[in-house]
Amino acid sequence: MAEIASLTPADAFELLLAGNRRFVAGAPEHPNQDAARRAEVTPGQRPFAVLFGCSDSRLAAEIIFDRGLGDLFVVRTAGHVAGSEVLGSIEYGVAVLDCPLVVVLGHDSCGAVGAASAALADGVTPGGYIRDVVERVTPSVLAARAAGRVAPDEVLAEHVRHTVDLLLERSRVLADGVDAGRVAVVGLCYRLADGRADVVAARGLEVTAS
């Protein structure tokens, strides 16, 4: 795990994307998934990225980025909505585990984004705690509409960008890490049909959005 400890944000991002390229091509290597790796990470973990994604069952991080045990510190909620527990978990990955990369991962056909869009259209919101998820996604949908972005993919991209900005606004740990060049926060949109993760936002890293 020594090589992981020395990764820069750019190195970590390329490592993550390389795994996604293998997954898209149908040529995964399934690294770090054997008994030897299990034994190696038993004393402690040194993941190279925090992955904050949607809870959708089709968005299994270690699979779509072709990684294994001890590689990713994964936090998932419906619609990747961020409350205090999420922020604390992400900060733990950065401040305690020294992850140089935080990724916000959204995906097309997201139920939470669709529900927020529908609630704005018909004025009816779901009951229970699902309502809380929808209400947290709603500002992203409103921002997208205000900018003239109404296509589902455009609304999704806006929600991912909004989440990236929200993390940096609310977390001094992340903001200071980005300012110091120790951490990058990147927003990706995952396409269910072909498995590709495209960049839609990047803070602390020179990356061209897709």
Q: Is residue 208 part of a domain?
A: no
Q: Is residue 210 part of a domain?
A: no
CATH number assigned to the domain comprising residue 134 = 3.40.1050.10
The per-residue pLDDT for 123 is 86
Q: Calculate mean pLDDT across residues 157-173.
A: 97
Confidence of residue 5 (pLDDT cuts 50, 70, 90): low
Neighbouring residues of 189: CB distance < 8 A, sequence distance ≥ 6: 106, 107, 108, 153, 156, 157, 160, 197, 198, 200, 210
Confidence of residue 169 (pLDDT cuts 50, 70, 90): very high
Q: Is residue 151 part of a domain?
A: yes
Confidence of residue 1 (pLDDT cuts 50, 70, 90): very low
Percent of the chain with pLDDT over 70: 96
Higher-confidence residue of 175 and 125: namely 175
| pLDDT tens sequence across 134-161 | 999 999 999 999 999 989 999 999 999 9
What does the mean pLDDT of the chain come to? 94
Please list the helix, strand and coil fractions of the chain in percent, rounded to the nearest 5, in that order: 50, 15, 35
Q: Is residue 209 part of a domain?
A: no
Q: Is residue 27 part of a domain?
A: yes
**Residues of the domain holding 175:** 2-203
Residues in binding site for Zn(2+)? 54, 56, 107, 110
Q: Is residue 81 part of a domain?
A: yes
Number of domains in the chain: 1
Q: Are 123 and 129 in contact (CB under 8 A)?
A: no
